[in-house]
Structure 1
Amino acid sequence: MTRRPEKQPAVLDAEQDPVTTPQPCKADGADPTQTHLARELTHDRPLICCAFDPTGRFVFAGSEDLTVRRWDLLAQEPPAIPFVAHESWVFDLAFTPDGCTLLSAGGDGCLIWWSAATEGEPTPTRKIEAHAGWVRGVTVSLDGTLAASCGNDRRVKIWSIDDGLLLHDLQGAHDKPVYAVGFHPDGESLVSADLEGRIVVWEVSSGLMQHRLDASSLYSYNGGQQVDYGGVRDLAFSPSGDRLACAGLLNATNPLGAVNDPAVVFFDWLRGEQIALLKAQGGLKGVAWGIRCHPDGFLVVAVGGSGGGHLLFYRPDQPDEEFHRFSLPNTARSLDLHPDGLHLATAHHDGKLRLSRMQPQSQPAAS
């Protein structure tokens, strides 16, 4: 889960004249009901995850060809620059707040440090065998000093960004693979969430478990197929840190057939209580793979599955149904919000990285 720094991002839209230096943008005017597809960036293999860098100049995606791909959003037709070092699929990406360092998490059990904006051939600056089996998630603290990772080995680890030293190895709290991890905006707590919907809150300084939250509604076990299914697929804090949103699925009547409903469990962080269960309307089938809390207070959810790809928009105080839905051309597998607050990136099974804009098509880009 990528955190955003207090700095000015680059102008994004390809239809504008290209610029050579980042220009300031602002989130004023974000209107989810006007969301439209602004740009498609192409790769030749399915994409798994995506993330904007904190400056807003680049967008990255992890691919099934074992690479990370980078596109320069200031170019009219940017090539998909390959970052090659993983020996398995890349499942998650995170950045230091200055945008200089990218961390990638792979199915090879490795965390890799990269220079995010390198001009030459990208090469790792550090590679760590972080977990036994898949590394499912990676995140960076807002102050840029710590990284946290989680994986199929049911462990959560906290690392020093500067030297890659392991500071805490958090074990024993999860009985199933850990899918998502995120630092609270105050920097004092870390949350990890697993296949069973178990959410553990850790004290960062000591590595001690503080308490648990329950998102088990996102988990099911199918005895006939003998499948554990569901879990927290992504999580996001509100900018103030008073809310936590966890994305996943409900009603997995046929897990192997991907018959399930996307859903989001929404928590009051201070009380440690669930305050809403957000569902898709109209029988939409799929998984809520990605979620972001917009600074204007609404939630954006990326859905992918047998019902196709969609962006769902919710107001947490009106949880009964999404207030807007935008359909995408192909199954969405990941989501990120650009620092300008106007653009969304979605990674797709057809190899496209799609950028959607939350403003009328006739309205000039914010600058």
Structure 2
Amino acid sequence: MPRGERPLDPGDTPLLRFAADLRRLREKAGGPPYRELAQRAHFSAAALSDAASGRKLPSLDVTVAYVRACEGDVESWEQRWHEITAELTAQTPPPEDDSLAPYLGLGSFQREDADRFFGRERLVEELLDTLSRTRFVAVFGASGSGKSSLLRAGVLPRLESAVLGTPGSSPVRECARWLDEIGGPDAVLVVDQFEEIFTLCQDEEQRAEFVAMLTGAPCRVVIGVRADFFAHCTGFPELVDALRDGQVTVGPMTAAELQRAIVQPAVRVGCVLENSLQATIAAEATGQPGVLPLLSHALLETWRRRRGNTLTLSGFQSAGGLAGALAQTAEQIHSGLTPRQQVLARNLFCRLTAVGEDIGDVKRVVPHDELDDDPDVGVVLERFTAARLLTAGRDGVELAHEALLRRWPRLRDWLAEDHEGLRLHRRLTEAAQAWESLGKDPGALYRGVRLALTRDWAAGHADVLSTREHQFLHASATAELRRARRSRQLVVTLAVLLLLVVGAAGYAVHAERTAARQRDVALSQIVAGKADALRRSNPMLAAQLSLAAYRLAPTDEARTSLLETFPLPFARLRGHAGHVNTVAFNGVGSMVVTSSHDGTAKLWDVAQQKEIATLTGHRGTVNAAAFSPDGRTVATAGWDYTARLWNSDDRAGRAVLSGHTREVNAVTFSRDGTLVATASTDRTAKVWNARTGEEVTTLRGHADGLVSVAFGADNDVVATAGWDRRAAVWRLSDPEHPVFLTAHTAPVVWLAFSPDGKLLATAGQDGLVVLWDTSDPRTPRQLSTISGHDGIVRSVTFRGDGRMLATAGVDQTTRLWDLADARWPRRIATFTGHGNAVVSVAFGPDGNTLATGSDDGTALLWKVPSRPLADVDEAGRWVCETAHPVITRAEWDRYFPGLRYEPPCT
């Protein structure tokens, strides 16, 4: 037995038994020295020896490496590690009072939390300095970057006289109340979540008046705005003028700031963090925008699992880690509810979400009187509020943070299943509130097509509606029935009069024909509207309804609906537990690879639309993945500073490409598959031998991190894109003289060459795609600029013939552009189907299949026409070639009651 290790008796603790079994495993492997074991495991000898000492539970990574080096059963040891973690956690009693916790979880810091708000000291000083020089300051930052906490816990306590508020759905009324409370010209009005004027307020006049009130306020003003709403703000000239000299950007914390934010709150309550925990969090969180609420929640859960006064790596991992803690907590609460309570939880969370048409899904405050007085609803609220996933205040209930919308897969699925229905529901909620506030004025009731659409949706979702909404719909239907009865009476009266004048027989025929024509026109318009509402949830049925509506009566509504039916998604790939970062096809289009924030890449069978395999090995986010041209090799890029090569047939790892000193953000193969290129936050791109994994060359010249890389038509030309707002074209035969392209006004986040290498497309956070002529890579020239996305463009790709371009954006859409003349790109289609930003797009080799990846955690596969559809007849033929299954008789009777069953496609 090695020196320093002692025998264990059956009465020893679970931890000591675990360590003893690790040592027995090493003995079965021949008792290799720890130095030799370290070479196999890629961990230090000290770490492996400590794992088998029994002093503390080793991390999961160290355990797996130890077991693999000893040729043990990794899967069974992983299961055992989780079991002992749960057992050890159970030995630490839960805290009696969460108010003593050093971390807030998902909630924003408030003024009273200033003494535990760390890490943003420099930014607080910058904001106060800017405020001293200008009377209007805007604080921009990504969702989850800590804007609200900065304003509430960092800035407010430093101001002598300040008023804080959020706009809500009635910003003008709120602003008038704030200005009444302002104490003088040196007072400060702090408006958090300014983007609510776009997400919750639907009145353009109110928005304009609110902006005018703020920019003309008799005091200093600070507004906090989500960065993806910057373009929305530029729609107000007075706001643009006010922001000219007063902008502060909240970016990711530096490593030093992050350490203060993690360590100091714990120190304040007498706790310490294991060094391994600090190192793991630093590796996963440094430089990541929007990570702070996830980190705070994960740390809160880790504190609840602490051992004594120590926060441990094993506690962090058992809580789910940075990526999974939030979903794990939500799932634990959900699984503990009764079936009825689970249904109510779904209804509640959907009600707490404002489903955007031009913007992403955002949280909304639900007033207390919007919720029915149901004991089970109270249980759901109490449990999710106790876990700090919901917050309840004077104004109502809301999600503790919008991170829930992105990080809880179950909630994402709920929202994606009936996106259009949720929009109808939100409008119904607002209409019912307005009706009640107006004393149940009949003029505020629904009627016509809006009533028909809403009643049709509500028929299948009766359990979702509140009592007020049921009453509103019933009153609307009753009023519509009265109007219809009066109309029929009037028609009858007129008919009698006309019969007396022109004769019964002739008028009856004419009236019947007119009534039938009017019925067909009305039904065509109604069905076209229902088809639009179904477009996300059931696109195949929606396409056939649009075609049937047009054939019934060629109304403008039906024609527009029919022409907007393409492209059609034919599969949704689910399985990742985080954002899907990239999608890519193999050379024959039979497989798709996806990469994700959940630390995995997955291979999917396109024909069977199912997952084939999961590639694991990276520590943290897998930001990109690509197939070699022959499809035999998969490359992945990770934020663990490495790229990896895998065999696509047996999923075995072939090589680890190590050399970057920061996150690897992109990876791609050359056209002949002999080279691999990677791009990194360390400001370099590297080219590697795809067969041996050896580094060939390093490209240096960008002033900030790189996020995209692409090969031209041959192995000599490479293009890179970076946060320095530039793209660059390199020739590997002369790497010291790149040509920088400077057309974007914000970071360039993606680029792609056309198949012949003569065109380069660059996509930027300025919302633009720029096309470049790269026929001579030494002298690229700008050809055209594409605009149309509402916000950042995240990805671009060319079709195999180079005559079509696809772009993907944070506005949740993918768009197709005709490049018959690259100087004048023409938009030919818009895809809508994802529930969050679309971040990656790829054409299949046949040119008729497209894959998209999204922050909603899914990938979609689409069928697209090979060319723009010329007219409605061609659109109809394409629908019948693509849509399946054929509309059933039951579906026909539901949408075309009383009409003979004539499905448009057979």
Normalising to structure 2: TM-score of the pair?
0.32
CA distance in structure 2 between the partners assigned to 1:177 and 1:317 by the alignment: 30
Question: Aligned ranges for residues 218-229 of structure 1 at < 5 Å?
Answer: 219=746
Verify the 8 A CA contact 1:95 1:102 in the aligned structure 2.
yes
In 2, Cα distance between equivalents of 1:98 and 1:340:
15
Q: Please name the residue that 2:699 is paired with.
A: 170
Residue of structure 2 aligned with 1:36, choices 553, 563, 568:
568
C-alpha distance in structure 1 between counterparts of 2:754 and 2:567, whole Å: 21
Distance 2:770 2:588 in 1: 30
After TM superposition, list the pairs within 5 Å mapping 1:38-77 onto structure 2: 38-45=570-577, 46-75=579-608
Match of 1:311 in 2: 815
Residue 275 of structure 1 is matched in structure 2 by: 783
The alpha carbon displacement at 1:34 in A equals: 3.1
Deviation at 1:165, TM superposition (A): 0.9
Aligned to 1:325: 830
Query: Shift of residue 240 of structure 1?
Result: 1.9
Q: Give aligned-pair identity as a percent.
A: 27
| 2:79 is aligned with 1:79 | no
2:708 is aligned to 180
Q: CA deviation at 1:206?
A: 4.7
Structure 1: distance between partners of 2:634 and 2:756: 25
Kept after mapping to 2: 8 A contact 1:303/1:312: no
Aligned-residue offset at 1:364: 5.9
The code of the aligned residue for 1:187 comes to N
Q: In the alignment, what sits opposite 1:156?
A: 685
| Aligned residue identity for 1:180 | S
The AA in structure 2 aligned to 1:313 is W
The 2-side partners of 1:134 and 1:82 are apart by: 21
Separation (CA, whole Å) in 2 of partners of 1:296 and 1:129: 34
Please tell me the residue identity of whatever aligns with 2:815.
Answer: L
Amino acid at match of 1:177: G
Q: 2:634 & 2:732 partners in 1: Cα distance?
A: 21
* Structure 2 residue aligned with 1:26: none
Question: Which AA in structure 2 matches 1:98?
Answer: D
| Cα deviation 1:173-204 (Å, max 9, x = unaligned) | 11110111111103221111211222222222
Q: Distance in 2 between matches of 1:73 and 1:110?
A: 28
Paired residue for 2:796? 291
Distance 1:82 1:188 in 2: 33
SS at match of 1:79: strand
Q: Kindly state the Cα deviation for residue 160 of structure 1 after the two structures are TM-superposed.
A: 0.6
Q: 2:849 aligns to what?
A: 343
CA displacement at 1:134 relative to structure 2:
0.9
Distance 2:740 2:841 in 1: 26
Cα distance change of structure 1 residues 166 and 309 upon mapping to structure 2, 3 Å threshold: same
* Counterpart residue type for residue 92 of structure 1: A
Could you tell me how far 1:350 is from its partner in structure 2?
2.0
Aligned counterparts of 2:659 and 2:863: Cα–Cα separation in 1: 36
Quote the residue 1:4 is aligned against: none
- Verify the 8 A CA contact 2:783 2:823 in the aligned structure 1: no
Q: 2:858 aligns with which of 333, 337, 352?
A: 352
Task: Say which of 713, 717, 731 aligns to 1:203.
Answer: 731
SS of corresponding position for 1:187: coil
- The alpha-carbon deviation at position 41 of structure 1 amounts to 1.3
> Aligned pair count?
302
Change (3 A) 1:87 1:146: same
Structure 1 residue aligned with 2:645: 113
Contact 2:705 2:723 in 1 (8 A): yes
Is structure 2 residue 620 aligned with structure 1 residue 88?
Answer: yes
Q: C-alpha distance in 2, partners of 1:186/1:124?
A: 27
Residue 881 of structure 2 corresponds to: 363
> Which protein has the bigger helix share?
2
Q: TM-score, normalised by structure 1?
A: 0.77
2:566–2:829: 8 Å Cα contact kept in structure 1?
Answer: no
Q: Secondary structure at the match of 1:362?
A: helix
Counterparts of 1:303 and 1:33, CA distance in 2? 20
CA distance in structure 1 between the aligned counterparts of 2:564 and 2:706, rounded to whole angstroms: 31
Q: Which has the higher strand share?
A: 1
Quick check: 1:49–1:90 contact (8 Å CA) kept in 2?
A: no
- 1:79–1:150: structure 2 CA closer, same or farther, 3 Å change rule? closer
Aligned partner of residue 363 in structure 1, secondary structure: helix
Shift of 1:131: 1.1
CA distance in 1, matches of 2:564, 2:679: 32
AA aligned to 1:126 is A
How far apart, in 2, do the equivalents of 1:207 and 1:268 lie?
A: 20
In structure 2, do the counterparts of structure 1 residues 296 and 142 end up closer, same or farther at CA, with 3 Å as the change threshold? closer
CA-to-aligned-CA distance 1:270-309 (integer Å, 9 cap, x gap): 35111211101xxx523211111221512111112xx333
Distance (Å, rounded) in 1 between the aligned partners of 2:709 and 2:622: 16
Pick the aligned partner of 1:124 from 653, 662, 679. Answer: 653
The superposition leaves residues 203-222 of structure 1 with CA deviations (integer Å, 9 ceiling, x where unpaired) of 223533342222333x1xxx
In 1, Cα distance between equivalents of 2:728 and 2:751: 12
Q: Is the 8 A contact 1:150 1:181 kept in 2?
A: yes
Question: Counterpart in 2 of 1:137?
Answer: 666
Q: Go from structure 1 to structure 2 and tell me whether the alpha carbon gap of 1:32 and 1:238 turns closer, same or farther (over 3 Å shift).
A: farther
CA distance in 1, matches of 2:646, 2:857: 23
Question: Which stretches in structure 2 are left out of the alignment for 5+ residues?
Answer: 1-539, 541-562, 866-877, 884-906
- Tell me which moved more, 58-67 or 295-304: 295-304
Aligned to 2:275: none
Q: Sort the Cα spacing of 1:290 and 1:345 in 2 relative to 1 into closer, same or farther, 3 A.
A: same
Q: 2-side partners of 1:246 and 1:290: how far apart?
A: 9
**For residues 329 and 182 of structure 1, what CA distance do their matches in structure 2 show?**
26
Counterpart Cα distance in 1 of 2:698 and 2:612 = 35
